C-alpha cells in the first residue's frame, strides 16, 4: 500500500489532501504550497545541470534604486532567439533562490541550462504580484549572456512585458 493509499484509507480524501498540503508547507514553505500552475510548470522546465548539449544562460536582473522598488512577487523570464534562421524560445523560467530577491537597488543573478536558443533577440518578464500590499516592482534592466534588455518601468499588477535586445 502506498503512503497516499494509506492516508486515503485512514482519513478519507479531504483529510489526505489536508495532510499533503500540511506536508508541502512543512517541507517547502507556505509559498510553495500555494504555487501557481505557472510556477509549477516553470520549475519543471528548469534542468538542474548541463546535459544533452544544454547551454548556460547567465541572467542578471537589476531592481531600480527608487522608494518601494522591491517586491516579494514572483518573477519569470522567457527568452526568444534565432538559431540558423529558425525562431526559438525557452520555457517560462521561474527565477528565485535562497537570497532575498527583487529588493531595491539589488542585482539578482541566475544561471539556467537550456537547449541552445541561438542568438537571443527578446526577453519577456512575467511578474505575479500575488495581489498583496506594496507588491509593485521597479525593474531597471535584464542581461542574458551579455545581451542588454532595458525595462525602466514599474510592474504594478500581474503582467508580462517584453523587450528586444539593445
Q: Which residues contact 39 (CB under 8 A, 6 or more apart)?
A: 74, 76, 94
Q: What is the pLDDT of residue 52?
A: 67
Cα separation values, 29 from 17, 24, 35, 40, 87, Å: 16, 7, 10, 15, 38
Q: Which CATH superfamily is domain 40-164 in?
A: PLAT/LH2 domain (2.60.60.20)
The pLDDT of residue 5 is 45
CA distances from 94 to 2, 15, 152 (A): 31, 31, 21
Task: Say whether pTM exceeds 0.85.
Answer: no
| pLDDT for residue 36 | 65
Which residues in the chain land under pLDDT 70?
1-52
Specify the pLDDT at position 138.
98
Residue 35 is predicted with a pLDDT of: 55
How is the chain split into domains, by residue range?
Answer: 3-34, 40-164
Nearest to 139 by CA among 66, 80, 83: 66
pLDDT of 124: 98
- Residues 47 and 1: their CA atoms lie apart, in Å, by 32
Amino acid at each position: 500500500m502506498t503512503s497516499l493509499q494509506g492516508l486515503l484509507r485512514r482519513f478519507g480524501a479531504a483529510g489526505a489532501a489536508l495532510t499533503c498540503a500540511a506536508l508541502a508547507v512543512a517541507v517547502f514553505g507556505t509559498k510553495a504550497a500555494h504555487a501557481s500552475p505557472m510556477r509549477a510548470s516553470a520549475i519543471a522546465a528548469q534542468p538542474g545541470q548541463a546535459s544533452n548539449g544544454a547551454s548556460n544562460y547567465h541572467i542578471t536582473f537589476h531592481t531600480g534604486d527608487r522608494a518601494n522598488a522591491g517586491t516579494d512577487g514572483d518573477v519569470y523570464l522567457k527568452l526568444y532567439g534565432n538559431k540558423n534562421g529558425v525562431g526559438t524560445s525557452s520555457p517560462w523560467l521561474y527565477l528565485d533562490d535562497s537570497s532575498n530577491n527583487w529588493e531595491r537597488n539589488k542585482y539578482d543573478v541566475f544561471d539556467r541550462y537550456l537547449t541552445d536558443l541561438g542568438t537571443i533577440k527578446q526577453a519577456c518578464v512575467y511578474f505575479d504580484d500575488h495581489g498583496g500590499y506594496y507588491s509593485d516592482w521597479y525593474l531597471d534592466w535584464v542581461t542574458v549572456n551579455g545581451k542588454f534588455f532595458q525595462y525602466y518601468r514599474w510592474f504594478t499588477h500581474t503582467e508580462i512585458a517584453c523587450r528586444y535586445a539593445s
